[in-house]
Structure 1
Amino acid sequence: MTSEHDLQTLLKNCADEPIRIPGAIQPHGVLLTVDEATWTVQQVSANAQSLLADAPAPQSGQPLSGWLGNEPSERLRERLLSESLDEINPMSLRIGDQTVDGLIHRHDGLLFIELEPVQADPAAVGRSLDQRLTRTLRRLQSAKTLSALYEISVTEIRALTGYDRVLIYRFQEAGHGQVIAESATSELDAYQGLFFPASDIPEQARELYRLNWLRIIPDAAYVPVPMVPALRPDTGQPLDMAYAVLRSVSPIHCQYMQNMDVRSSMSISLLKDDRLWGLISCGNRQPLRVPPALRVACETIGQVLSMQISALEELNAQRQRQAKGGLLNLLANAMAEADGDVYHGLIEQAEDVLALVDAGGLAVVIEDQVHLFGQCPSAEQVKALQTWVQASDSVVTTDSLGALYEPARAYSRVASGLLAFSLPKPVDNAVLWFRPEQKESVQWSGNPDMSKVVVGNRLQPRESFEVWKQQVDGTARQWDVGDVYAVSDLRRSALESDLSRQVLREKDAVRARDELVAVVSHDLRSPLTAIVMQCGMMQRLIAADVSPASKRLNSAIDTLQRATARMTNLLEDLLDTAKIEAGRYSIAPQAVEISQLFEDAWSLLTPLALNKFIDLTFSGEPELKVMADPERMFQVLSNLVGNAIKFTPKEGLISVTATLEGDFVAVSIVDSGAGIAPDQLPHVFERYWRIREGNPSGTGLGLYISQGIVKAHGGELTASSALGVGSVFRFTVPVAKPS
């Protein structure tokens, strides 16, 4: 007996089988690989002389003309230079006294040439094939339903190729597949509706199906033909035959075919959005060769069928979406108009929400409240499930909830199917639809648990394909594309309504804050003014008194006046900040001379600079004017220069310059202070930034307000600094145009 561990090891080895690099081909043709730089053969199949009678003994490095002849080789070379591979394939070549069919492709730096003997008159076959292909494509394009499309496809391909059986095999999400259409001779057992386990087609084999539209095995009992030499001469690596039609296939697959009583097969890939959607699978009880031209026709059918499947599926989905449009609008309006949370709108329309996706139960979670309608798990179970759902940032959909969420197995009877979503809010929330368990029997082609057997420590494909019925529990009726679309659209509407409410709440909060700041500022101004006036009167009364008590009182009054002035400045800054944040900061721009701004700033700030023996200079281009609010621009200039004086050591230098730069005037304040640390520089314009040493008394709003004023003028305020060198604050203001 083989242990479970050993069996899993063998299965993994099977999945990792090097099917891209078998080192051999099927014997019904010849493969040559060519280095196009030198036009020499790198590798050739060992049977080359059987098809190419005048060919030399297989070896590397010989010119291609030695195998094909001078004229065919040169003709091929000319076509490769002037035409695309799609135009060339398939092509006929006259080599010696025989005609061969050729397929050409490029891969991994090599030219692959695959040659097969011609079976019939190419011209006659081509005329007949063109007519039949045209008829088939016309019938495919006329199909109005998917079932009709499938039926036409299998019938036409079987008539074209002569296979005993042609079926369409669709892959399911879990990896297994189901036969959804079939055309076969009457003596064969029917496969339609049967499921095949995922292990019948390993993942790497599916990838090759995705890369290649067609694969063919004329005779599963073939003996592989090795490549000569075995490895690539240029790299020393095995030859990658991922795109080679003649590539030898896995011996396990050949045995699998023979166990099914199939000697010849052809598979045509069906793709949707570059994913492997399914296969058209053809099988015959006797060896059967399909010539290249007919195979290309089958590829064309597969490509058209792929497009038609996508188009009809999208049409069906569109019809389902349209059918739910009215209900979705009703629910969107209910959420938009609901009081409180948007989900209350769904609670009020619970029957419509259930009908939207034909669910058996509905749960709506709003923070600590769970609202249940129809057949649902308990409130506690829903609350736990909601936590699992909230981990996803999209719609959650499954018809086997217990397979994904273990606790759900306890209530599979009422909730084996789940459609759900939550909104990105910090509180618990979710809308969940449930469908009850729907017990059913699934018919497999053979026992899926016996898909692989071990004989003599080697993995062998299963031998039995008799119908095997399996009872399936814990599954619900599948949600269709219309259901998923409806829930996705409902989530979008809920998100829009919720965001709209958040914006309104934030606007209300900002308005309330602004009103509070305005009221507080207004109510505080009067007592502050009274304090200042009273301080002035007290100072005048004690001006003539030089007693120690009067001096102490005078000092206390000075302190009180400074505190009052600071509080007044803070109120002004808070009002400016509120206006900036609310986007209501107004300015009254007019033409202002830069020299006048500089003169006013010099008069105010020079005494402060002289107290520290700082050399403060103002310079600007003559007759330079800006469009600015004089009071606000003076506020910016005095704030920036005042900061420079405050943080520049004694006997330092501060220069203020103004230059014309296109449509703007740039004003730079350069100081020789200690500079700003690199980790602090990005934050200097943030509210309440006052981390620099020596500024414990600042409000931390000056630079923030200055930036808001400059932006209101349409300019930009920036800062740069280097420790030990100094800082540069630079702002721009629109230039005043000559009147």
Structure 2
Amino acid sequence: MSVNPSTNPSNKPPDNPPTDCAREPIHLPGSIQPHGYLASLDDAGRIVQLSANCGALAGTTADALVGAPLARLVGEPAAQAAREALAAPGSDGAPQLVGTIDDPRGGERAPLAVVAHRYDGVAIVELEPALGTGDVFSSLYPLVRTFLHALQASPGVEELARLAAGEVKRITGYGRTLVYGFDEAGNGHVIAEALDPGYASYLDQRFPAADIPAQARALYVQNRIRLIADADYASVPLVPPLHPATGRPTDLTWSSLRSVSPVHVQYMKNMGTGSSMSMSIVVRGKLWGLISCHHASARLPAFEVRAACEHIAQMLSLQIEAREDGAQAEYGLALRRRLSRLLASMANSEHFVSALAAEPHELLALTGASGAAIVFDGRIVTVGVTPDKTQIEQILNWLDNQHGDVYASEQLAQETGTAFHHDAAGMLAVSISRLFRNYVIWFRPEVVRALKWAGDPRTKLAPSGTATTPAQALSPRASFDVWTEIVRERSLPWRAAEIEIAREFRAALLDIVLRRAEELAQLALELGRANEELEGFSYTVSHDLRAPLRHIAGFADLLAQTEADALSTRGRHFVERIAASARFGGKLVDDLLAFSHMGRAALHKQAVDLNRLVKELIADQQREHPARAIDWRVATLCTLTADPVLLHVVLRNLIDNAVKFTSTRTEDDAPALIEIGCAPGEGDLADHDIVFVRDNGVGFDARYVDKLFGVFQRLHRVEEFEGTGIGLASVKRIVERHGGRAWATSELNVGTTVSFAIPRVALAPSAQATHSAQSARSGAQEGVKSAAKNGESAAAAVARLASVTPGAQPFRNVRKPD
């Protein structure tokens, strides 16, 4: 026994050399084995081609029989039965027994079974040795009844295989009978054997897939029994070599006498086998395995015995299919119960990722995994034993380029090109979205296995020094000593039921996500409707309150002027409070009105030069606060693509706040400092431009930064700094309507920096549209500046302008009829 010390992560023999063996036309050998006879007939029942040994059977030559009726060879009754069988519907393909006859030569020779079939437009009759001339099938049941009785009691496939091996050996007398199945790579694995003393055991050993080339496997699926009675046989040629009706070599796919490849004969001899017989195990239409019989010397089982063995193979095939289907169904049912529990947990959770992570046992048991990763919304949540997130990212990069919804691998490192990780040798992944990186991935650890091969599979074929034909130029390996391969970097394979349950899990998950999306869409629709109603209400209330508040302020001023002498000091104080409160209420109403319009007004984007806009806003501040000493530090600013009116509101609010919150600075303390700058975005803001306004004012506690941009949220007392608490809320709404983001940083008594990012947008409008937009925006800007000079707030000016801005109809969702 030899041991292969190297690591081979695949489950196939390493380095099998390419050969012509797989292209050998084994169904067109042009000859048969000598233990039987073959004749091909025309439609009139005359012999048009036959094996050369038919002449001896009829006491003449093969050439003399060409053109003669079949009765000349088998007698009229058998010939008539053969003609009727060949003329019957369904005669194409599998041979059928016509009957049995005595050997025409008499003596002690064995009777002959007459078998007929039609294939590729050619009618073929074969004669093979039989036990007797009676009813062949009457002897079939006694041969297989032991097997039939024990069939139902066998608990599993391996027990069935052991039973079949023993039964076939008993009725055939072969020295060794093997039952082996094929894996997905085509390698054979011996799962049962029965043998006489002196025969080498191959139990639990493997035979490489190349031992049976593809065309031989295809023949095994069609013609499910093959006999080689004597490895030293001399083949019998067909006369004439080409079939007269087709002009081609006769296709002997369904012939039981078909001559075999010289390579396979040499394979038998190297194995110490003088005779072999194989029966196919076909499950769900595919070659599942073989029952293979070996004998040290030549051996010719009778036709009835071979028919019984073929029957055993068919029953074994049906039983294996039933047992596998039953086991698969039972395992699949258990997985579906787990899936039901998992889905129930997910349905009761706000977010399916949290639900999956909260049920690690059910999630891992769903596919028999040891670890899992849930990838959703840019997050990676892991449960169980998994690789680190860096390696998971590499796997995700590979998965992003794959096609299909489910991907399974038992050798992840080799297939993905990533570094091997012993906890993730195998992977089963489902993609939840075709557009986004959303996956659920299960992992399995490495399972190191020692595979025993019947001989070194790397020496499958070698040149033959005695070759006379191309086929003989290849010689199979000469040694069948145990050769052990250590397989690493592989997990246990994923079962079909596990892959199927992963598909069902994906479908159920998509259903949950879709249902949740529909619920969110419904909620968004309702919130949008409520928001519209609220905005409409706020607009109506704000609009209706403006006049009364102005009247209150106006009459309070008149009262203070006309009745000043009649009022007491306390009365004058009350009147002043009334007027101030009315003016504040009016300003609040104006700001509310503007805020309500900001969510509905259409955006008219164009290139805005921030340098010019900021210069004008600073000039306004200097006119409004001529006594303030402010150190303005303005960098070279960028050009933004935005609505110029709304961008004017954003920067005016930020500059107003900076001026207001630096009012406590004096020249004796430290002069007020306001910086305005611009920088390109980075990371997730790489396609944005960032603008910031920084001051050295009173600042605020950073713990409350989340409240800063809320409506009516104030972080300072109104007695210290006046304001309505709407300015920064307006800033946030405007920036977000542009697809951007606003944020702030601050430190108490050090200062505040408010920043906003606006995405870069390329504009290419027509010349007329450009002129029209510039005119409209220019007029709007002038309107805002004029309003500011006249004492009207910027927010109020925006509200007034927005109310007459054309094209301000907001987008509305189209809802299905109830």
Which residue of 476, 480, 492 maps to 1:477? Answer: 492
The equivalences for 1:325-340 within 5 A come to 325-340=336-351
Equivalent residues of 1:55, 1:67 under 8 A apart: no
Shift of 1:476: 1.8
Q: Compute the RMSD of aligned alpha carbons.
A: 3.4
Matched, 1:271 2:282: yes
Q: 1:433 to 1:64 in 2, by over 3 A?
A: same
- Aligned-residue identity in percent: 33
Q: Look up the match of 2:186.
A: 175
Which residue of 432, 447, 451 maps to 2:441? Answer: 432
Q: Look up the match of 1:216.
A: 227
Q: 1:139 to 1:293 in 2, by over 3 A?
A: same
Which residue of 155, 163, 181 maps to 1:152? Answer: 163
Q: Which moved more, 1:94-103 or 1:263-272?
A: 94-103
Distance 1:350 1:474 in 2: 25
Is the partner of 1:324 in helix, strand or coil? Answer: helix
Is the partner of 1:11 in helix, strand or coil? Answer: coil
Q: Which moved more, 1:154-163 or 1:477-486?
A: 477-486
Shift of 1:337: 2.8
Which residue of 89, 98, 102 maps to 2:114? Answer: 102
Shift of 1:487: 2.9
The equivalences for 1:272-291 within 5 A come to 272-291=283-302
Matched, 1:417 2:426: yes
Q: Which whole-Å deviations, capped at 9, do the CAs of 1:664-705 have from their partners, x for residues lacking one?
A: xxxxxxxxxxxxxxxxxxxxxxxxxxxxxxxxxxxxxxxxxx
Distance 2:16 2:374 in 1: 47
Q: Which moved more, 1:390-399 or 1:470-479?
A: 390-399
Which residue of 142, 145, 153 maps to 2:153? Answer: 142
Shift of 1:440: 2.4
Is the partner of 1:193 in helix, strand or coil? Answer: coil
Matched, 1:203 2:214: yes
Shift of 1:9: 12
Distance 2:17 2:124 in 1: 33
Matched, 1:464 2:470: no
Q: 1:30 to 1:522 in 2, by over 3 A?
A: farther
Q: 1:413 to 1:87 in 2, by over 3 A?
A: closer
Shift of 1:387: 4.1
The equivalences for 1:104-503 within 5 A come to 104-118=116-130, 120-123=131-134, 127-340=138-351, 342-389=352-399, 396=406, 398=408, 400-402=410-412, 404-408=414-418, 410-456=419-465, 458-503=473-518
Matched length: 524
Shift of 1:35: 2.2
- Structure 1: which 5+ residue stretches go unaligned? 1-6, 525-577, 586-739
Q: Which whole-Å deviations, capped at 9, do the CAs of 1:596-640 have from their partners, x for residues lacking one?
A: xxxxxxxxxxxxxxxxxxxxxxxxxxxxxxxxxxxxxxxxxxxxx
Equivalent residues of 1:386, 1:429 under 8 A apart: no
- Structure 2: which 5+ residue stretches go unaligned? 1-13, 466-471, 540-810
Is the partner of 2:63 in helix, strand or coil? Answer: coil
Distance 1:391 1:96 in 2: 71
The equivalences for 1:43-82 within 5 A come to 43-53=49-59, 57=63, 60-81=66-87
Distance 1:501 1:58 in 2: 85
> What residue identity is the alignment partner of 1:500?
R
> What residue identity is the alignment partner of 1:466?
D
Q: 1:404 to 1:60 in 2, by over 3 A?
A: farther
Distance 2:16 2:249 in 1: 24
Equivalent residues of 1:354, 1:362 under 8 A apart: yes
Distance 1:239 1:502 in 2: 65
Q: Which moved more, 1:93-102 or 1:19-28?
A: 93-102
Is the partner of 1:437 in helix, strand or coil? Answer: coil
The equivalences for 1:6-17 within 5 A come to 11-17=18-24
Is the partner of 2:297 in helix, strand or coil? Answer: coil
> What residue identity is the alignment partner of 1:386?
L
Equivalent residues of 1:421, 1:431 under 8 A apart: yes
> What residue identity is the alignment partner of 2:20?
N
Equivalent residues of 1:395, 1:487 under 8 A apart: no
> What residue identity is the alignment partner of 2:395?
L
Q: Look up the match of 1:584.
A: 817
Equivalent residues of 1:396, 1:418 under 8 A apart: no
> What residue identity is the alignment partner of 1:103?
V
Q: Look up the match of 1:33.
A: 40
Distance 1:26 1:403 in 2: 50
Higher RCO, 1 vs 2 (CA within 8 Å, ≥6 residues apart): 2
Is the partner of 1:413 in helix, strand or coil? Answer: coil
Is the partner of 1:388 in helix, strand or coil? Answer: helix
Q: Which whole-Å deviations, capped at 9, do the CAs of 1:567-603 have from their partners, x for residues lacking one?
A: xxxxxxxxxxx99964439xxxxxxxxxxxxxxxxxx
The equivalences for 1:663-674 within 5 A come to none
Q: 1:250 to 1:510 in 2, by over 3 A?
A: farther
Q: 1:419 to 1:402 in 2, by over 3 A?
A: closer
Q: Which whole-Å deviations, capped at 9, do the CAs of 1:187-244 have from their partners, x for residues lacking one?
A: 2221110011111111111111111111111111111111111112122212111111
Q: 1:511 to 1:27 in 2, by over 3 A?
A: farther
Distance 2:171 2:297 in 1: 17
> What residue identity is the alignment partner of 1:110?
V
Q: Which whole-Å deviations, capped at 9, do the CAs of 1:351-388 have from their partners, x for residues lacking one?
A: 33123334222111113211222332221321232343
Shift of 1:465: 0.2
Equivalent residues of 1:255, 1:461 under 8 A apart: yes
Distance 2:62 2:328 in 1: 60
